[in-house]
Copies of this chain bind each other. A is one copy, B any other.
Amino acid sequence: MPEAWEKPYRDLLARVREARLLSSCMSLLEWDERTYMPHNGAAHRAEQLGLLAGMVHQKGTDPRIGELLDRSEEALRGMSADAAEVACVREVRRAYDRSRKLPQELVEEIARTRTLAESAWAGARAKSDFPAFRPWLEKIVGLKRREAEILAAGGDLYDALLDDYEPGETSAGLITLFAALRDELVPLVAAIQGSGRRPDTALLQRDFPVDRQERFGRAAAAAIGFDFQAGRLDVTTHPFCDRVGPGDTRITTRFDARLFGMALFGILHEAGHGLYEQGLPGEHFGSPLGSYVSMGIHESQSRLWENLVGRSEGFWRHFYPQAQATFPESLTGVSPADFFFAINDCRPSFIRVEADEATYNLHIIVRFELERALIAGELAPADVPGAWNERFRKYLWLTPPDDAHGCLQDVHWSCGLLGYFPTYTLGNLYASQLFERARKDLPNLQDGFARGEFGALKEWLGRNVYRHGARYRAVELVERVTGQPRSHRALMEHLRGKFGPLFGIR
A155-170, CB < 8 A from B? none
Q: Which residues of B contact A227 (CB under 8 A)?
A: 40
- For residue A87, CB closer than 8 A to chain B, the reply is no
Q: Give the nearest-CB partner of A35 in chain B.
A: B36
Known contacts A21-B47, A29-B28, A51-B22: does B246 contact A38 (CB below 8 Å)? no
Contact bitstring A26-53, B, C-beta under 8 A = 1, else 0? 0011001000111111111101100110
Are A48 and B18 closer than 8 Å at their CB atoms? no
Complexed CA–CA distance, A247 and B46 (Å) = 12
Q: Does A337 contact B (CB under 8 A)?
A: no
Q: Which residues of B contact A47 (CB under 8 A)?
A: 21, 245
Task: Determine the chain B residues whose CB is within 8 A of the CB of A245 once the complex forms.
Answer: 41, 44-45, 47-48
Give Cα A244 to B41, complex, Å.
8
The stretch of A229-237, A316-324, A364-372, A494-502 that contacts the partner chain? A229-237
* A247 lies within 8 A of B28 (CB): no
- Does A460 have its Cβ within 8 Å of any Cβ on chain B? no
Taking a contact as CB atoms under 8 Å apart, the answer to whether A24 and B48 are in contact is yes
Q: Quick check: A21 and B48 within 8 Å, CB to CB?
A: yes
Q: Which residue of B lies closest to A55 (CB)?
A: B55
Q: Is the CB of B40 within 8 A of A248?
A: yes
A242-294 interface (Cβ within 8 A of B): 244-248, 250, 285
Q: How far is the CA of A39 from the CA of B246 in the complex (A)?
A: 11
Question: What is the minimal beta-carbon distance from A227 to any residue of chain B, in angstroms?
Answer: 8
Cα distance, A174 to B22, chains bound together (Å): 41
> B51 to A247, Cβ gap below 8 A?
no
Q: B32 and A246: CB pair below 8 A? A: no
Contacts A39-B229, A41-B230, A229-B40; A21 near B51 (Cβ below 8 A): yes
Interface string of A341-361 (1 = CB under 8 A from B): 000000000000000000000
Please state if B229 and A44 are interface contacts (CB–CB under 8 Å). Answer: no
A52, B28: Cβ atoms closer than 8 Å: no
Q: Report the bound CA distance from A455 to B228 in whole Å.
A: 44
Query: Chain B contacts of A376 at CB under 8 A?
Result: none
Our pick among B18, B52, B55, B231 for the contact of A38 (Cβ within 8 Å) is: B231
Within 8 A of B (CB), among A125-140: none
Shortest distance from the beta carbon of A363 to any chain B beta carbon, whole Å? 33
Residue-wise, chain A 470-486 has the 8 Å CB interface mask toward B (1 for contact) of 00000000000000000
- If A32-B32, A51-B18 touch, whether A247 touches B38 (CB-CB below 8 Å) is yes
Scoring A residues 298 to 320 as 1 if CB is less than 8 Å from chain B, else 0, what string do you get?
00000000000000000000000
Known: A32-B28, A38-B230. A248 touches B45 (CB 8 A): yes
Question: How distant is A241 from chain B, measured CB to nearest CB, in Å?
Answer: 13
Asked if A247 contacts B41 (CB within 8 A), the reply is yes
Question: Smallest CB–CB gap between A157 and chain B, Å?
Answer: 33
Q: CB-CB < 8 A to A25: which residues of B?
A: 25, 29, 48, 51-52
B44 A244 Cβ-Cβ under 8 A = yes
Residue of B nearest to A282 (CB): B44
Q: Are B18 and A230 in contact (CB under 8 A)?
A: no
**Most chain B CB within a 10 A radius of its CB, from A41, A52, A229:** A41
Contact with B along A457-475 (1 / 0, CB 8 A): 0000000000000000000
> How long is the Cα–Cα vector from A40 to B472 in the complex, in angstroms?
28
Contact of A28 among B28, B230, B234, B285 (CB under 8 A): B28
Q: Chain B residues near A32: list those with CB within 8 A.
A: 28, 32
Nearest-neighbour CB distance to chain B for A4, whole angstroms, equals 29
Q: Which residues of B contact A234 (CB under 8 A)?
A: 36
Distance in Å: Cβ of A154 to nearest Cβ of chain B: 36
Q: A21 — nearest CB in chain B belongs to which residue?
A: B51
Looking at the assembled complex, report how far the CB atom of A20 sits from the nearest CB atom of chain B, in whole angstroms: 10
Please, could you name 30 A-B residue pairs with CB atoms under 8 Å apart, sorted by A?
A22-B51, A22-B52, A22-B55, A24-B48, A25-B51, A25-B52, A28-B32, A36-B234, A37-B248, A38-B228, A38-B247, A38-B250, A39-B230, A39-B247, A40-B227, A40-B229, A40-B246, A40-B247, A40-B248, A41-B244, A41-B245, A41-B248, A43-B247, A44-B244, A44-B246, A44-B247, A44-B285, A45-B244, A45-B245, A47-B245
Closest 7 pairs between A and B when the two form their complex, measured CB to CB:
A41-B248, A40-B247, A44-B245, A40-B230, A39-B229, A41-B247, A40-B229
A28-B48, A38-B230 are known contacts; what are 15 more A-B pairs with Cβ within 8 Å? A21-B48, A21-B51, A22-B52, A37-B248, A38-B247, A40-B227, A40-B230, A40-B248, A41-B230, A41-B245, A43-B247, A44-B246, A44-B247, A44-B285, A55-B55
